[in-house]
A and B are shown apart, each in its own frame.
Chain A
Amino acid sequence: MLLNAEFNDRQSIAAAIAALQARGFGAGGIEVYSAQPLDLPDGLLKRPSHMSLAAVAAATGIGLLAIVFVRATEYSYPVVTGGMPLFSWWASGVIFYEFTMFGAIAGTLGMFLLESGLLRRGPSIPAPNLTDGRIHVRISCEPENIGPATECLYLTGATRVEMVEKQ
């Protein structure tokens, strides 16, 4: 079951989430929707991110691929270098650098799409309307917990609480 609570101000959100977590609602089942990013206190709705790691991994991977590609090409199809070595770190360094950076960009974009859930396709849940400037808190809970959750949300400043159904 999904519960949707409307709030008018940013300050109440942190209190609502803290109260819900104190009553045993896990961070994974709570989601906040807002038209602007919210600065929640540290530890509240903690979302671990592997974006930096993904960027470093993609950068290393694509950088190494570029080295293999350039080296293999230069030895397979040798160009006239006037006595200089066929493969040179100095001469190819810029190419490796740019490919490494390209990998970091691709890794960041890929992880952003993954972590934000923008690529995830599943049963759709109507998104709350954010044009009026309100902030919405959505809780996924068992039917028997609807009562306590609703009470908790109203106590912390929700102006309206309603059930939402998946489409």
Chain B
Amino acid sequence: MSIDWRRYRPEPFWDELITAKGRARTGAGNLCRVLSQLSDEELLEHRTAAELAIRSMGITFTVYTGKGSGSIDREWPFDLIPRLIMKREWDAVSEGLKQRVRALNMFIDDVYHDQKILQDEVLPREYIEKSKDFRAECVGISPPHGVWSHICGSDLVRDASGQMYVLEDNLRVPSGVSYMLENREVMKRVFPELFEEYFIHPVDDYPDQLSECLRSLSHLKSPTIAVLTPGIYNSAYFEHAYLANAMSAQLVQGSDLVVGRDDCVYMRTIEGLVRVDVIYRRIDDVFMDPEVFNADSMLGVAGLMRAWRAGKVALANAPGCGVADDKVIYTYVPDIIRYYLNEEPLLPNVPSYRCVEKEQRDYVLDNLDKLVVKPANESGGYGMLIGPNAAKKERDKFARQILANPRNYMAQPMLLLSTAPTLVDMHAEPRHLDLRPFILSGSSTFVTTGGLTRVALRKGSTVVNSSQGGGSKDTWVVDLE
């Protein structure tokens, strides 16, 4: 016997498949039954087949090792046991995400125009003006449909009670969607029999939806679309190439593009210069245009901002949208939703403390051993303090940093992240996970069915980033009706 659910103990965490009493959750019964019927040999066979599929499909991510030794392509770590979400729950989450992204886009548009929300003092003016992601160069620009963040990847987590929260909104250049698509492909190859047990909503329309979204940013019927990548050393290069390929778009680097005297963007091809209408850029604002931002950038295109401001090219995501992706601004998102939409938020934020406000800051400083402290502008899990796991010395260091620059920090209680059964040496153990759905906004809005489930493969760890020992699972949105 290999997977024995009676020996599976998720407590004290909420488990996505198994209840505290060791029973399968609604809808998970068939999956658990099929899995427990597999012998060790069969499990091993499936796992080997998955590894082979990943290698032959070339699903990799790049780890930059630094120090001149370059970078290595690692095969994508994948767990065989899928994560299930009931369709009914997903529909509600999906509405919540649309609401959230709609409000956030209205917020960004307001920040770069009339700043009504600041005038009405819903949010202190200095938070915006001192934000290092506020781009004065974007003031007064009106991108198509009033949308700034066309591709958003929000991170969702569940706590011990089973409540789903938004942990953060990645409004700038979120990655991971190609792995969501590839996970499903691998799963279909390796476990076709599981798909007979369920009606699982497909995910493979994402490239079409993305292409549709990008097209809607141009008034042309068939605009030329390019994906702008920093190049092969970037950790998400696989995804850039994958999406360009799936959309039949050009994969370009900054050096492939030129901005003409007419402020139009062109790419150099063997046929000569060809105009580009929409750019899905996968490089940060600061690297995008050496004329405006980081003058040393070798990744960008001189004049790109000029072209964008003149309306000659659409950029997705728009420059400057990171202003809403700041973790201190995050704490205001429920207010932002109420302010612009006059609606109650459908999806809650994780309760958060702002270090700028004295009362909350004092609480944070007194309870550092219980809290997670996050800097306002980092991503990928860097620069955080996980209080309960940190040494006193490190907590003291953070206390000093918070006092020196309170605007740069916020804190959240240590969430007991939910778990799901994950294959460890031929049996299942609970491992923590999160979920990153992708929300597309153009002339219309689209939410992926499920998203990318990232799982912390190390026992007890809650760090799901692939660069730090995270893996992933296929995510099934399942219809029982």
Same complex for A and B? Answer no
Residues of A within 8 A of B (CB): none
Residues of B within 8 A of A (CB): none
